[in-house]
Amino acid sequence: MDYRMLAFFIFSSIAILGSLMVVFKKNPVASAFALITVFFAFAGLYALMSAHLVAALQILVYTGAIMVLFVFVIMLLNQDRPVEDLKSSSPFFKGFAALGVSALVYSMIRVGLLAKGIQPRGQMTEDKVIELGGNVRAIAESLFTDHLMQFELTSVLLLGAIVATIALAKRKNSMEGAAS
């Protein structure tokens, strides 16, 4: 087993464990920080695939900007409701979840053992990226020609999320002011 496969298993294990922590943590801020760990693991996986620009963008955009926005929203809304945890779940639900996780782990291990290594998929092979002038140029050309509409819709979606968050926070504050 070469170092790339070992690094893949390490990063993917960190991502899976971090994802489980996101789901099972009671505190939403702790879940957000676990999600940051998942984002760093994804950046490591991107770096293994020689997508260094995507790895850097993963850290800068998702881990930096998006997670700051998530933590801001969590703290702004500050829900004072009790959190339901795994202990209050029914035994049937726990068994069903354990069966699903076991099947997922089995299939991932099987695919990992059968894999012949990480191969590039789609049109962008390493030779094509070098021909275009590097990762940055290849991603920029693809983003601003083929995927321009999705790029713009994402910015509108994020703007709408920010406006909705502020509107919810203002409504909650005005309701608390009227109650006192």
Q: What is the 3-state secondary structure (H, E, C) of 124-165?
A: CCHHHHHHHCCHHHHHHHHHHHHCHHHHHHHHHHHHHHHHHH
What's the predicted TM-score (pTM) here? 0.51
Number of domains the chain contains: 1
Answer whether residue 69 is part of any domain: yes
Answer whether residue 96 is part of any domain: yes
Answer whether residue 73 is part of any domain: yes
Answer whether residue 84 is part of any domain: no
State residue 17's pLDDT score.
93
Amino acid residing at 137: R
Tokens found for residue 45: 């996986």
State residue 116's pLDDT score.
63
Look up the domain containing 48 and give its range. Answer: 1-79+90-115
Distance CA 19, CA 35 (A): 7
Answer whether residue 9 is part of any domain: yes
Could you say which residues of the chain have pLDDT below 70? Answer: 1, 78-89, 115-122, 171-180
User: Could you tell me the CATH number of the domain that includes residue 111?
Assistant: 1.20.120.1200
State residue 26's pLDDT score.
81
State residue 79's pLDDT score.
58
State residue 12's pLDDT score.
93
Distance CA 50, CA 65 (A): 23
State residue 172's pLDDT score.
64
